[in-house]
Amino acid sequence: MSIQQLLRGVDLLSTLVGKAFAWLIVALMLLVVVEVFKRYALNAPTAWVFDASNMLYGTLFMMCGAYTLAQNGHVRGDFLYGSMPPRRQASIDVVMYILFFLPGVAALTWSGYDYFHDSLAIREQTFNADPLPVYPFKFMIPLAGGLVLLQGVAEIVRCVVCIRTGQWPERLKDAEESDVVAQQLEASEFVDDEARKLAIEKSKGVKG
């Protein structure tokens, strides 16, 4: 198996996990809508909804971290970085990953497991009239940390390949906003051919 196949495999795992847990936003929306109806229309609020919504959002946020890293979507101060050649970018990245990313995420994963283990040992619950178990939510901390750590190792390998070859290895691309804009413009009946072509080229230029 080649290095590129390994990188794509890790990218695929992060992408599948991120997309699967992204559906939690639908569950969260439905939960809030039902609670608002019960609270204001039926005058029958639910005690555990606030805790449940926090757990759902926290799980969504944590479990999509590896996906965001795989898509190179985390915030980056690239005023100077963006104008650098690939080898210099990769050199900076690999140093940052080794000095800051690996120790930080490894500590998060390790301490997150201890956090979960302590919660499981006492069968921790929320403090309300209808308590919810907390330990399943806390298990998401080491799980998310492990996935981000795996993706981070893949990013370090990607940097090493770039330093050797001078080119960034191909990423497993997901749909981007510019792709959606291009598809909508191509199918639009209200945009003339010349304007459509110009807008599509502009959207592709932004993507690149």
Q: Which two tokens stand for residue 13?
A: 């795992």
Cα angle, residue 129 at apex, residues 123 and 133 outer, rounded to 5°: 25
The pLDDT mean for the chain works out to 87
Least confident stretch, 79-83, 96-100, 190-194:
190-194
Give the rounded percent of residues in the chain with a pLDDT score beyond 90.
67
Task: Read off the pLDDT band of 9 (50, 70, 90).
Answer: very high
Query: How many other C-beta atoms lie within 10 A of the C-beta of residue 203?
Result: 19
Residue 186 domain boundaries? 177-208
Nearest one of 47, 188, 12, 14 to 125, comparing CA atoms: 47
Tell me what the mean pLDDT of segment 125-149 comes to: 93
Is residue 166's pLDDT more than 50?
A: yes
Q: Please tell me the distance from the alpha carbon of residue 19 to that of residue 76, in angstroms, as a whole number.
A: 23
21 shares a domain with 67? yes
Is residue 73's pLDDT more than 90?
A: no
Least confident stretch, 48-57, 100-109, 173-182:
173-182
User: 17 or 181, which is more confident?
Assistant: 17
For residue 192, the model assigns a pLDDT of 64
Q: Which helix (H) or strand (E) holds 160?
A: helix 135-165
For residue 184, the model assigns a pLDDT of 60
Q: Please tell me the distance from the alpha carbon of residue 9 to that of residue 142, in angstroms, as a whole number.
A: 21
202 shares a domain with 127? no
- Quote the pTM value: 0.80
For residue 195, the model assigns a pLDDT of 61
Is residue 208's pLDDT more than 50?
A: no
Secondary structure of residue 125 in the 3-state scheme: strand
183 shares a domain with 170? no
Measured in whole angstroms, the distance separating CA 170 from the mean position of its chain's CA atoms is 19
Strand spans (E) along 141-204: none
196 shares a domain with 127? no
User: 175 or 156, which is more confident?
Assistant: 156
153 shares a domain with 188? no
What is the domain count for the chain?
2
For residue 123, the model assigns a pLDDT of 94
Is residue 199's pLDDT more than 70?
A: no
203 shares a domain with 169? no
Three-class DSSP labels, 20-79: HHHCHHHHHHHHHHHHHHHHHCCCCCCCCHHHHHHHHHHHHHHHCHHHHHHCCCCCCCCC
Q: For the CA atoms of 98, 100, 101, 102, what is the dihedral angle to 10 degrees?
A: 50
Sign of CA dihedral 3, 7, 99, 103: negative
For residue 6, the model assigns a pLDDT of 92
